[in-house]
């Protein structure tokens, strides 16, 4: 179980700032998480409240990856599809994504927004 955990951008930002502050900040945060994380009310720690202790420990000591939002994932798929060298396949795939987003309705900058 040495896989990096996936964190939201907000969680990753807080974890990284605590790592940058040093070992004592990490240890203090872990201790407070165990004692009573539900009492955390500061804007800077709220994204960590919903994390399990295991996830928080792994983020600090093993590492983490930033989880892409749905819009970011869609844009990545939209831009990566090549159509295997056939422009009409790529164009049809992209048009299908735009149509699906219009049906939902969802706007994604770089695709249909």
- Tell me the per-residue pLDDT of 8-57, one tens digit each, with 9 for 90 and over: 988 999 889 888 888 888 888 888 878 877 777 666 777 888 888 999 99
8-state DSSP, 68: P
Are 24 and 59 contained in the same domain? yes
pLDDT for the residue numbered 1: 53
Q: How many domains does the chain divide into?
A: 2
Are 47 and 78 contained in the same domain? no
Are 15 and 61 contained in the same domain? yes
- CA dist 109 → 3, 57, 112 (Å): 31, 35, 6
Are 45 and 77 contained in the same domain? no
What residues make up the domain containing 9? 5-66
Q: Residue 96: pLDDT above 90?
A: yes
Is 26 a domain residue? yes
What mean pLDDT comes out for the span 84-108?
90
What mean pLDDT comes out for the span 3-8?
92
pLDDT for the residue numbered 7: 93
CB contact burial 18-56 (16+ within 10 A = b; e otherwise): bbeeeeeebeebbeebeeebeebeeeebebbeebeeebb
Are 60 and 88 contained in the same domain? no
The answer to whether the beta carbons of residues 3 and 44 sit under 8 Å apart is no
The answer to whether the beta carbons of residues 69 and 39 sit under 8 Å apart is no
State what percent of residues in the chain have pLDDT above 70: 95
Are 19 and 59 contained in the same domain? yes
């Amino acid at each position: 179980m040495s896989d990096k955990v996936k964190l939201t951008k907000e969680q990753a930002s807080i974890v990284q700032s605590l790592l940058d502050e040093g070992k004592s900040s990490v240890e203090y945060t872990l201790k407070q998480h165990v004692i009573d994380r539900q009492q955390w009310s500061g804007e800077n720690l709220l994204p960590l409240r919903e994390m399990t202790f295991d996830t928080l420990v792994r983020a600090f000591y093993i590492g983490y990856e930033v989880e892409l939002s749905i819009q970011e994932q869609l844009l990545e798929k939209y831009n990566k599809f090549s159509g295997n060298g056939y422009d009409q396949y790529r164009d049809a795939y992209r048009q299908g994504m735009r149509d699906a987003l219009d049906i939902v309705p969802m706007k994604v900058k770089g695709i249909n927004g």
